[in-house]
Amino acid sequence: MSTQSNIRIFDTTLRDGEQAPGCSMNLAEKIEVARQLEALKVDVMEAGFAISSPGDFESVQTIANTVKDSYVCSLSRALEKDIDASAEALKGAKLPYIHVFLATSEIHMQHKLRMTPEQVLERTSAMVKYARNYCDEVQFSAEDATRSDRPFLAQVCAAAIQAGARTINIPDTVGYTTPAEMTDLLAWLQANVENADKAVFSVHCHNDLGMAVANSLAGALGGARQIECTVNGIGERAGNAALEEVVMALKVRRDLFGADSRIETTQIARSSRLIYQIIGQGVPLNKAIVGKNAFAHESGIHQHGVLAEKTTYEIMTPESVGVRVNAMVLGKHSGRHAFESRLAELGYALEPAELDAAFAAFKVIADRKKEISDADLEAIVSHRPQVLSPVEPSAQRYELEGFHVHSGKDVTAVCVMRLAHGDEVHEEVSLGDGPVDAAYNAVDKIMGTSEAVLESYNIQATSDGKDALGEVVVKLRAGEQIRTGRGLSTDIIESSILAYLNAANQIAAS
């Protein structure tokens, strides 16, 4: 990978982001995210930590065989077995990339690694050289770099570059540093690492003190030419630098940074929504770049200014990040051609079978809802693995046949549930603390999932209005496994049942 004036974007949504509590994804979801990251044009996507589990290995391997326009990376500790696993998982990659890390701070070396500085230096050199036997693009990360002794950190960086590392990453692993310190550290390293000109310097900042984006951009001012980040800033503890904020800061303030990125910014909003949908979280109203209020103006003075000249209060346009304004809406009389054209405008290219299923779901929802917005369409399409079932449903899956709920104030909720399983229809009645609880108890009775624990239940509307689609995401735990289920309907009880049923089916199949 050549060194360039632009800032490279190294996305770790599928590794650092996905390993955070509540953000786990199944293989199908990871593939969907990987394809979207490719459409977003990230330079590198870290697909996982191949040796950490068979599931992670499979994810890295499948993504490596799927993605062609971005480097696909696997994380490795500075151990031969880790690097071997990464290399094996990346065999099918058009653009393979191995990421090796080892801590360099005194606190990590003493208490975690139990290694001397000399041993860390030796291991760094040996493992980077070992990784270069497998591919050209090898990155070395000095874990907890911002709390490391600077002269020693410079030695480690020099050793890694000498051994063949093309990228040197300087992580703020615990979100400890400040922007001024980060700029100074990057500038100092490039001045004091003797072979610094032979590698690209990178930063990876965590958000423990709320400065991940600021520190990442400060690193760029200090000479970093790669920034590691995640969509929506998801990740360990308080998260990582948010890709959308980093990218748009570079674009809007190119005069300051003297560089941009190759990111297709019109894919930002879609990428953000996809991640929020998968992890079952709503978009904060005031979230920079992608929040509902990011381009809203309520103050009279602001409204007057925007109407007179947009740049009075908007430093970027909604369209530049893929937010459509005054978009055409569809309804129950809209035909397949209009539906397909609208999806194409939104950037979706579905297979014929997927399009058939999506259109069928659209017609069902259009009969219940007067107008279908872009947000509704995206919700329909994003739910296709769970909601848009194949024409011939699997005999192993339980399908919602029907339900009836009786509930009210000071009345114990009762649910009559009917689920189809192959050629059989099962019916059960259950009580509960409210309609959703009663419905879930009835599903448990039929499927035998009463031991499963509901970890989280999240509900949000996809658009405005009393007839808005209700999107429900649940996380269901059975033993050590957690499964995410999604449901979509204008009837929030139905959405809740579909989400729970989806998660319960995954548990039953595993």
Model confidence pLDDT, tens digit, residues 89-103: 999 999 999 999 999
Q: Domain for residue 287, yes or no? A: no
Local confidence band at 1 (pLDDT 50, 70, 90 cut-offs)? low
Same domain, 79 and 214: yes
Please report whether residue 327 resides in a domain. Answer: no
Is residue 258 one of the residues assigned to a domain? yes
Residue 281's alpha-carbon distances to 54, 88, 116, 457, 497, in angstroms, are: 27, 34, 43, 10, 18
- 8-39 per-position pLDDT tens digit: 999 999 999 988 877 888 888 899 999 999 99
- Domain with 234 in it: 8-279
Whether 378 and 434 map to the same domain: the answer is no
Give the global pTM: 0.85
Dump pLDDT digits (tens) for 194-244.
999 999 999 999 999 999 999 999 999 999 999 999 999 999 999 999 999
Cα-based angle 336, 337, 339 (whole degrees, multiple of 5):
65
Establish if 439 belongs to a structural domain. Answer: yes
Q: Which helix (H) or strand (E) holds 182?
A: helix 179-192
Same domain? For 237 and 108 the reply is yes
Tell whether 314 and 429 lie within a shared domain: no
**Which residue type does 25 have?**
M
Mean pLDDT across the chain: 89
Residue (of 10, 37, 5, 42) closest to 168 by Cα position: 10
Are 104 and 120 in contact by the 8 Å Cβ rule? The answer is yes
Task: Specify whether 344 is located in the same domain as 249.
Answer: no
Q: Of 239-248, 250-259, 332-341, 421-430, which range is least confident?
A: 332-341
CB neighbours of residue 459 within 10 Å = 17
**Predicted confidence (pLDDT) per residue in 388-402, tens digit:** 333 334 557 899 999
Q: Enumerate the β-bridge partners of residue 487.
A: 472
Within this chain, do residues 110 and 180 fall inside the same structural domain, yes or no?
Answer: yes
Residues 314 and 445 in one domain: no
How many domains, in total, are found in the chain?
4
Q: How confident is the model at residue 445 (pLDDT cuts 50, 70, 90)?
A: very high
Paired tokens of 221: 């001012």
Asked if residue 470 is part of any domain, the answer here is yes
Residues 111 and 219 in one domain: yes
Same domain, 61 and 191: yes
Residue 439: give its domain's CATH number.
Answer: 3.30.160.270
CB 271 within 8 A of CB 37: yes
Are residue 416 and residue 454 in the same domain, yes or no?
yes
260 lies in the same domain as 139: yes
Residue 161 counted as domain residue: yes
Question: In what helix (H) or strand (E) does residue 130 lie, and over which residues does it extend?
Answer: helix 117-132
Query: Do 30 and 162 belong to one domain?
Result: yes
Is residue 407 situated within a structural domain? yes
